[in-house]
Amino acid sequence: MSDIVTGPDGQPRCRWCAGGQELLDYHDTEWGFPVQEDSRLFEKLSLEGFQSGLSWRTILVKRDNFREAFDHFDFNKIARYTDHDVERLLQNEGIIRHRGKIEAVLNNARLAQAIVERDGSLAAYIWRFEPDKDKLAPPRTVTTSPESVALSKALKKQGWKFVGPTTMYAFMQSMGLINDHPEECVIRSKVERARELFKRPGR
């Protein structure tokens, strides 16, 4: 089966975005475009953890609920959460009520603070793992890479949770560290242009 589907405007797109309007909008305006804001990077790291065992669409339709519940993923605020907040979140029907995943966000928020203190920003740290585009596998052909394995190991060594290599590869795809839109996808050239203009943090 081809990785390409024809969108409502007649243009070719990644097949996975055909599952609903929210996926199409996400594909066209977010997936693969480079991100340097720490809060957005932390949000995606957190939501990728919540996605474990679920579909991205399930998470995407609840994203606004997650943002409201987790102070828009301001990790400085989340780092101050207590057991009371965990219980509050477990009662929130608008999010995924999984104790381990919720507690992982709190744990990771405190560790994100440590990265910022040491490296200046979460973005500066994350973007060090950007792959050499000349050594990338063809788009949509792999689910891990040496760089996603390295990022996973580096975060796990610091105590981060729900950051396996496959999860980190999906994170890299979505946050623009790689352009994994197939050559035929109408959005690929837009992402590539955005990556060319993007100023890598910490460099």
Q: Would you name the residues annotated as active-site residues?
A: 26, 48, 56
Q: How far apart, in whole angstroms, are the C-alpha atoms of residue 137 and residue 146?
A: 11
The encoded tokens of residue 95 equal 């999010």
On whether the CB atoms of residues 180 and 54 are closer than 8 A, the answer is no
Q: Are 111 and 117 in contact (CB under 8 A)?
A: no
Kindly give, in sequence order, each residue whose CB lies less than 8 Å from that of residue 27, ignoring residues fewer than 6 positions away: 13, 14, 16, 17, 187
Beta strands of the chain (E only): which ranges?
4-6, 12-14
- Judge contact between 100 and 181, C-beta under 8 A: no
Dihedral sign, Cα of residue 32, residue 96, residue 53, residue 49: positive
Helix (H) or strand (E) holding 23: helix 21-29
